[in-house]
Structure 1
């Protein structure tokens, strides 16, 4: 890895932490530079603006998530379980996605989010057309329901109870409940 690539990687990691914590409006480029041990001007050279840096961070995390949790339209219960697992291991992804929805919902500069969503909908439609499960719902509704169930316990979900209220329920029990809920949905 070249020195420039190593610096970019440090900037992206520091920016992911900063954006996950403060959002785009609250993030500070000077804090990102200090955490990354990089010159603040390099951030602008590499990414042009704070918003484009956020887009690069989000795209990297979305791409990693898509690579780590392949979509299985013929096994939606287990897909929901894997989404839950991934979010447990990478809570920053949920926070970044939430900040994106709040501050940049009209932006998808690389098309990664839109393309992934459209691909999933086409795959669901194909499975449903072959008599697969969930054909009582449109592909859009079914995918929305599955993702909502998979993300039910994430901290940004407005209906999620505080940890102090639900601490008796183990992570494994929550995962089993998610898988079973999606199974019942189908």
Structure 2
């Protein structure tokens, strides 16, 4: 059977995502990734360069997936929030990867951060182009869009960072019941925040 480089790369990526989500960057081992991927260590270094670059590639790809679910239509904020909520619920590894990154980050921004920053900047400008906060100056409109994006991401992610606390505060019997209730609340809050962001200061809500 001919060697399939793309399939090997895919297997390495899947194995690395699981290893990093469980153990973080410092605790992950290239040997375990190679074994789980049915590949050799040399292939990992060939395709990704280092364990650190592999971690960055995994996180970048996972974040790109969730960014796709971020609608750039200010009038669809609630639906977008619901889609993001579902994405996080079905991909819990992203929350763990982001927490590991936060715990293990050292030094200033790297090239991966600047790439991700540009991607989010593009989302914010698309929201502005979609008509968000028309009453504000352009720079203030961008800031309003960025604030909305980050607020919604935090509003969604926290449910999966502390599911036990979510269950207890809402006084539900199961995590599933608590999350189902939270999804509806998050969507309603997203709808309200988006409407407020587009309303001039002092305007009376409809």
Same fold (TM over 0.5): yes
Contact 2:133 2:144 in 1 (8 A): no
How many residues were matched structurally? 180
Inter-partner Cα distance in structure 2 for 1:65 and 1:180: 20
Aligned residue for 1:82, secondary structure, equals helix
Give the superposition deviation at 1:111.
Answer: 4.6
Inter-partner Cα distance in structure 2 for 1:23 and 1:167: 31
Contact 1:76 1:146 in 2 (8 A): no
The residue number in structure 2 matching 1:15 is 16
Residue segments in structure 1 that go unaligned for 5+ positions in a row: none
Give the superposition deviation at 1:70.
Answer: 4.0
TM-superposition CA deviations, 1:63-104 (whole Å, max 9, x none)? 23233x142331212211111110001111121122223334
Within 5 Å, give how 1:17-96 maps onto structure 2: 17-67=18-68, 69-74=69-74, 75-96=76-97
In terms of fraction of residues, the more helix-rich structure is: 2
Inter-partner Cα distance in structure 1 for 2:166 and 2:185: 18
Aligned residue for 1:128, secondary structure, equals coil
Inter-partner Cα distance in structure 1 for 2:160 and 2:3: 37
The residue number in structure 1 matching 2:201 is none
Inter-partner Cα distance in structure 1 for 2:152 and 2:85: 11
Alpha carbons of structure 1 residues 117 and 170: separation in structure 2 relative to 1, 3 Å: same
TM-superposition CA deviations, 1:20-53 (whole Å, max 9, x none)? 1111011111111111111122211221110011
Larger deviation, residues 111-120 vs 137-146: 137-146
Residue segments in structure 2 that go unaligned for 5+ positions in a row: 197-206
Alpha carbons of structure 1 residues 108 and 178: separation in structure 2 relative to 1, 3 Å: farther
**What is the aligned-residue RMSD (CA, Å)?**
2.8
Inter-partner Cα distance in structure 2 for 1:99 and 1:117: 21
Inter-partner Cα distance in structure 2 for 1:107 and 1:89: 29
Of structures 1 and 2, the larger Rg is shown by 2
Of residues 153, 172, 180, the one that matches 1:147 is 153
Inter-partner Cα distance in structure 2 for 1:167 and 1:29: 40
Inter-partner Cα distance in structure 1 for 2:45 and 2:120: 30
TM-superposition CA deviations, 1:141-167 (whole Å, max 9, x none)? 222222222223112x5x971656644
Write out the 4+ residue segments of structure 1 that deviate beyond 6 Å after TM superposition. Answer: none
Larger deviation, residues 52-61 vs 108-117: 108-117
TM-score (normalizing by structure 1): 0.82
